[in-house]
Amino acid sequence: GAVVSQHPSWVICKSGTSVKIECRSLDFQATTMFWYRQFPKQSLMLMATSNEGSKATYEQGVEKDKFLINHASLTLSTLTVTSAHPEDSSFYICSAHRGDRGVDSPLHFGNGTRLTVT
Amino acid sequence: SQQGEEDPQALSIQEGENATMNCSYKTSINNLQWYRQNSGRGLVHLILIRSNEREKHSGRLRVTLDTSKKSSSLLITASRAADTASYFCATDGNAGNMLTFGGGTRLMVKP
């Protein structure tokens, strides 16, 4: 149980275009989802916290107008990279927290999206 | 910001040997978790240890926590080639379910 599906797994886009990444909790309701960015051989950097029905909370240094997050339902959060540039190329990972398992239950991660901007 | 620091950054061992990874953190915590990441994939939760626990076991995994030193260790016994992955510690920092990840240890187990 507790499966998180992230789509697409990889995407190549041209500079200036926008890309949407979806994160779905398949068998549970996710009151909170998190979006991370990971550079090669580095750790995960939290970009933003997404709460269902409210605005996302962005970490310092993350441009909210560039990385649009929408958490319209308890099972879906989307990250849209707007006007993508080559420096946005990275591995983006979402995770979800099961609201019914307490605050110290583990996070469940998607398999990530490899974004390459040419 | 990254709270945890992991040591070593990379570890290469032979199959059958034990692998020990260490994690240090800076603020008080409710719990500390260890995750595994295969290359190019998401993270998989391995084990959670609460701040009032000192040691926890799960199969071939043994985790210790020393809150006075703000450190934790993950021991994988009798390693297998399939254990090759990156391992991350993560702390909640009293921030509920928001986790901060350490830098990770890249483990390679040679057959």
pLDDT score for B109: 97
pLDDT score for A81: 97
pLDDT score for B6: 84
**8 Å CB contact of A43 and B2:** yes
Find, among A75, A77, A49, the residue nearest to A62 by Cα: A49
Out of A32, A45, A111, closest to residue B97 by CB: A32
pLDDT band at B1 (very low <50, low <70, confident <90, very high): very low
For residue B89, the chain A residues in CB contact (below 8 A) are none
Mean pLDDT of chain A: 91
* pLDDT above 70 (res B4): no
Q: Which amino acid is located at A66 in the chain?
A: K
Residues in Cβ contact with A41 at an 8 Å cutoff, skipping those fewer than 6 apart = B106
For residue B101, the chain A residues in CB contact (below 8 A) are 43-44
Whole-number Å distance between alpha carbons of A86 and A64: 18
pLDDT band at B97 (very low <50, low <70, confident <90, very high): low
pLDDT 10s digits, B30-70: 899 999 999 989 999 999 999 999 999 999 999 999 999 99
**8 Å CB contact of A108 and B102:** no
Range B83-100 average pLDDT: 82
pLDDT 10s digits, A21-38: 999 999 888 888 999 999
Q: Which amino acid is located at A86 in the chain?
A: P
**8 Å CB contact of A43 and B88:** yes
Task: Kindly identify which residue of chain A lies nearest to residue B49, measuring between CA atoms.
Answer: A104
pLDDT band at B93 (very low <50, low <70, confident <90, very high): low
Would you say A38 and A51 are in contact if contact means Cβ atoms under 8 Å apart?
A: no
Strand A76-81 vs strand A67-73: parallel, antiparallel, or unpaired? antiparallel
Out of B35, B40, B97, closest to residue A103 by CB: B97
pLDDT score for A36: 95
pLDDT score for B2: 45
For chain A, the maximum distance between any two Cα atoms, rounded to a whole number of angstroms, is: 42
**8 Å CB contact of A95 and B42:** yes
- Identify the segments of chain A with pLDDT beneath 50: none
pLDDT score for B34: 96
Whole-number Å distance between alpha carbons of B11 and B87: 11
Range B68-81 average pLDDT: 97
Nearest 5°: the CA angle A80, B93, A111 is 35
